[in-house]
């Protein structure tokens, strides 16, 4: 009996949001940056939401070139924005990586979609074995198909996030309090900044 498991596929917003966020949190980056900036992991799907072609925001010019220009600007002008810029780059790139089952990476220069479809096969007959294969290439760009809001996988990630919130409830509560203070302090600082400050 063959049980091929597809690693990539149609990825829903819940997975796009939670998977890279958990990776960054597990890398012990500041949750005050990681959690609010996770919004950027959903940004490429705004093309489908506003009804333009899925290639419009799902390409390297948008997800890599724009944040890299911002990071270079931050490096030269204001160091404080370098880390947030890198986190945004990570979130945007993670979206494209999760969508690699078919994405026009170099749109509009190359209008075809690049696809990378790894699959892991598990066979029990004639003997127990796994096989791994990767299919890749270029194919014609498909018009957006049905968009699943939360898939089973997305539910699993959301469940994992809730579970982590319960396990680390003390930390989560402390985080919410410090995030509130941090936001209030920064808004005050921002408002107090003299208008001629460069
Ligand atoms: Zn997408």
How would residue 8 be classed by pLDDT, with cut points 50, 70 and 90? very low
Q: What is the residue-averaged pLDDT of the chain? A: 86
* Centroid of ligand 1 to alpha carbon of 147 (angstroms): 10
* Centroid of ligand 1 to alpha carbon of 79 (angstroms): 30
Q: What are the residues whose beta carbons fall under 8 Å from the beta carbon of 24, sequence distance 6 or more? A: 34, 87, 90
Range scoring the smallest mean pLDDT among 12-16, 35-39, 148-152, 184-188: 148-152
* Centroid of ligand 1 to alpha carbon of 103 (angstroms): 8
Is the pLDDT at 147 greater than 50? The verdict is: yes
pLDDT attached to residue 119: 87
161-178: burial string, b at 16+ Cβ within 10 Å, e else: beebeeeeeeeeeebeee
Rounded mean pLDDT of 9-20? 85
Phi and psi for 3 in degrees, rounded to 5?
Answer: -125, 80
**Tokens at 165, concatenated:** 């919130």
* Centroid of ligand 1 to alpha carbon of 45 (angstroms): 5
What gap in Å lies between CA 174 and CA 167, rounded to an integer?
13
What gap in Å lies between CA 154 and CA 14, rounded to an integer?
5
* Centroid of ligand 1 to alpha carbon of 156 (angstroms): 19
Rounded mean pLDDT of 17-43? 93
What gap in Å lies between CA 155 and CA 161, rounded to an integer?
10
Dump pLDDT digits (tens) for 57-106: 999 999 999 999 999 999 999 999 999 999 999 999 999 999 998 889 99
């Amino acid at each position: 009996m063959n049980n091929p498991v597809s690693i990539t596929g149609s990825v829903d917003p819940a997975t796009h949001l939670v998977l890279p966020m958990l990776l960054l949190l597990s890398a012990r980056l500041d949750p005050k940056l990681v959690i609010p900036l996770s919004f950027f992991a959903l940004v490429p799907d705004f093309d489908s939401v506003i009804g333009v072609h899925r290639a419009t925001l799902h390409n390297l010019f948008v997800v890599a070139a724009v944040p890299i220009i911002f990071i270079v600007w931050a490096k030269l002008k204001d160091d404080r924005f370098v880390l947030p810029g890198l986190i945004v780059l990570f979130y945007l790139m993670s979206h494209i990586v999760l969508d690699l089952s078919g994405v026009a990476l170099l749109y509009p220069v190359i209008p075809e979609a690049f696809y990378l479809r790894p699959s892991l096969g598990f066979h029990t007959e004639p003997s127990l074995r796994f096989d791994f294969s990767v299919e890749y290439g270029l194919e014609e760009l498909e018009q957006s198909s049905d968009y699943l809001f939360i898939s089973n996988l997305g539910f699993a990630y959301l469940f994992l996030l809730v579970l982590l919130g319960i396990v680390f409830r003390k930390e989560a509560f402390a985080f919410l309090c410090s995030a509130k203070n941090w936001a209030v302090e920064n808004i005050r600082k921002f408002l107090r900044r003299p208008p001629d400050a460069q």
